[in-house]
Amino acid sequence: MLHTPDSNMILASASPSRAAMLRAAGLNFEIEAADLDEAAIRDVLNADDKCPDPGDVAEVLARAKAETISAQNPDATVIGADQILTLDGEIFEKPPDMDAARQTLLKLKGRTHHLHACVCVARNGQGVWSHGEAAHLTMRDFSAEFLGAYLAAEGDSVLDSVGAYKLESRGVQLFSEIKGDYFTVLGLPLVALLNYLRNEGALQA
């Protein structure tokens, strides 16, 4: 693992997949998840704009996470990220239980949905950089038998994903077509983040 010039790095997210991506890329960091009322933030955005751009929503949430933890750790480089799933203008939430996960997958079945992911870096309580990307995923018209077997095999792990799937595991079998960056689908535009950290001297160039 790289010993970075800026070893005081924090991931402001409890997402296992985001942490796994950063570890696999060789980053040293701590995890300190931001305790935010994301639903309240979305309500405010909806009140200001009846149809807010999902990319903007992802950026606001990513920035809020990063700035919240950065205010508590002003000397650290704090990484915040968020991802929004939309289908026909509807913004999806993470399924609270397996029944909700099944309903999410049935809604997405045979259709193309969109994932909007944003990553933000904050220092001294202020966001200093952000980057957003979108991916477009088409689910195949899978059978009821496949859906049942998939949920049984994956179990509660699907509840960690807003779409009730993980592309890095059996979830890839749900799809007939994917357009977009792999890391964006996983919830973190990683290549852009690494480029930024290198340019800032936080990673070896």
Q: Looking at 35, 75, 82, 160, which residue is catalytic? A: 82
CA atoms within 13 A on the CB side of 121: 19
CA atoms within 13 A on the CB side of 85: 21
Alpha carbon separation from 15 to 36, 120, 138, 194 (Å, rounded)? 14, 15, 24, 18
Task: Mark whether 56 is an active-site residue.
Answer: no
Nearest to 72 by CA among 110, 140, 124: 124
DSSP state letter for 103:
H
DSSP state letter for 117:
E
Q: Which residues are catalytic?
A: 82
